[in-house]
Amino acid sequence: MSSGPAEAQAAAGGTIALPRPPLTHEDSDRSLDRARVHSARQGGRKWFLLWLLIGPGILAMLGENDGPSMISYAATGARYGLGFFLPFIVVTFVIAMVCQEMCMRVGAVTHRGYGQLVLQRFGPLWGWFAAGDLLFTNLVTLIAEFVAIRIGLAYFHIGAGVAAALGLALVVFTMSGGRYWRFERIVLGLAMFNGLFLVAAIMVKPHLGAVAHSLVTFSPFPGGSLNTLLLLFASTVGATVTPWMIFFQQSASADKGLTPRDLKQGRIDTIAGGTLGAIFGCAALIAGAALVTHGGASIQGLAGAGFPGALSKVDGNAVGTIFALGLIEAGAVAVLTISASTGYAVGECIGKASSFNNAPRNAGWFYATNISVALVAAVIILIPGAPLLSIALNANVLATVLLPVTLVFMIMLANDRELMGRWVNSAMLNRVAMVIVAFVALAGAAYGIDSFLQTVHLIHG
């Protein structure tokens, strides 16, 4: 009996080439994404290359301009006017850019997500701690996002059930393509409507001289209840820099396929996201400041229609409508990005596929976690009597309290020469990063200590 080609190759001392599965349509699409990047780079088409590579940084920054954050900014403006907090928002976004540049760089150089690297470099204990920390924080934050969607829809007299269904439908829809590029571009298009807050700010006709003066003078810390001020201070920090952003941007940078050659575009993406986020965040505060002489301090922004309704009474229905639509957008984008960061973290920590570039049948844990965490949050906002106001108000503070540990691990990863090679942090960047860690830790600790001392009646607010 004559031997076949495989047997003849084996007899000659070679290896047997096993048949490979055929390329799927998804495989071809993903290869096309990187082929377009290569073609743009080789052809010197810089602007087209930038268009192809932007995404993770803008999504992280505008995703953090979520519903609770924008309500927090508006509430600060309604209580204190422009003053101290307007330039402080700009400062926090500069801090965010520094932190997010590090995680983008680590993702591009290592092609691995934050959770996976913490697990590999620091062991299972810290890896699971980071994932558990994120899972808890994200669940609380997702509840707050669904509350924001609910508030925006309440302005149009639409119930909580629609808010829950809308958020879940968006999660399922954006995940359905089996391709990171599709997820990113859908959410990026939706995130651009964060600019509605800028429209709202323009519609309340602020005094431009007062806005400019506030931005350049940095007014003293306002008077009033110290505990309330510390709460707003910690909440403003937590409205800008959070653990989920680090998980998301590093994993998304790896999922997108960024490489060390793409660091310039990645930095532009991060700076653009931070700039837009700062502009839109300041706009929410300016819109809220229109209420400072109209009982703004007493408005419960997370009860009923809150700020959209108050703005409509002062400046007309149009601005209330714009603000309400902005809250729906802010909550929706955050639901999509935060649930994605949860899927990345869980998949990375259990060693399962965690990528939008895998079909659901090949990355079951990743997709199931995305949907499950959003489903749990959606169900909670439908529970009668659930403490939604308390959850939403404290979501940003919780992020501030838990952020320092995440930042310390990020700095250690960005300084790991075995991982990063010549792309490690500079000495100057390390000094800036450690100041940021100390600042964030102090913001959370000051509010926590003051609240504790009031609880045990050692001091009075």
- Is it the case that residue 5 has pLDDT exceeding 70? no
Q: Which residues lie closer than 8 Å to 146 by C-beta, 6 or more apart?
A: 163, 164, 167, 331, 335, 377, 378, 380, 381
Average pLDDT over residues 204-216: 90
Establish if 8 belongs to a structural domain.
Answer: no
Establish if 364 belongs to a structural domain.
Answer: yes
Alpha helices in 22-66 (DSSP H): 25-42, 46-53, 56-64
Establish if 460 belongs to a structural domain.
Answer: no
Average pLDDT over residues 118-134: 85
Lowest mean pLDDT among 103-112, 147-156, 411-420: 147-156
Burial tier of 365 (Cβ tally within 10 Å: 0-12, 13-18, 19+):
middle
- Is it the case that residue 147 has pLDDT exceeding 50? yes
Establish if 317 belongs to a structural domain.
Answer: yes
- Is it the case that residue 107 has pLDDT exceeding 80? yes
CA distances from 33 to 47, 104, 277, 351, 367 (A): 16, 19, 27, 25, 21
The per-residue pLDDT for range 63-102, each reduced to its tens digit, is: 989 888 898 888 888 888 888 889 999 999 999 999 999 9
pLDDT at 54: 93
CATH assignment at residue 160 = 1.10.4160.10
pLDDT at 315: 78
Average pLDDT over residues 266-284: 96
Lowest mean pLDDT among 193-202, 322-331, 395-404, 416-425: 395-404
- Is it the case that residue 20 has pLDDT exceeding 60? no
Establish if 214 belongs to a structural domain.
Answer: yes
Establish if 355 belongs to a structural domain.
Answer: yes
Average pLDDT over residues 173-193: 88
Establish if 28 belongs to a structural domain.
Answer: no
- Higher-pLDDT residue of 74, 424: 424
- Is it the case that residue 416 has pLDDT exceeding 80? yes
- Higher-pLDDT residue of 383, 10: 383
Q: Considering its fold, how many domains does the chain have in total?
A: 1
What is the domain extent for residue 434?
53-455
Q: What is the DSSP letter of 297?
A: G
pLDDT at 333: 94
- Is it the case that residue 461 has pLDDT exceeding 60? no
pLDDT at 348: 83
Lowest mean pLDDT among 116-130, 276-290, 328-342: 116-130
Amino acid at 302: L
Average pLDDT over residues 360-367: 85
Lowest mean pLDDT among 36-45, 52-61, 387-396: 387-396
Average pLDDT for the chain: 84
CA dihedral 8, 14, 18, 19 (to 10 degrees): -70
pLDDT at 352: 80
pLDDT at 1: 45
Establish if 24 belongs to a structural domain.
Answer: no
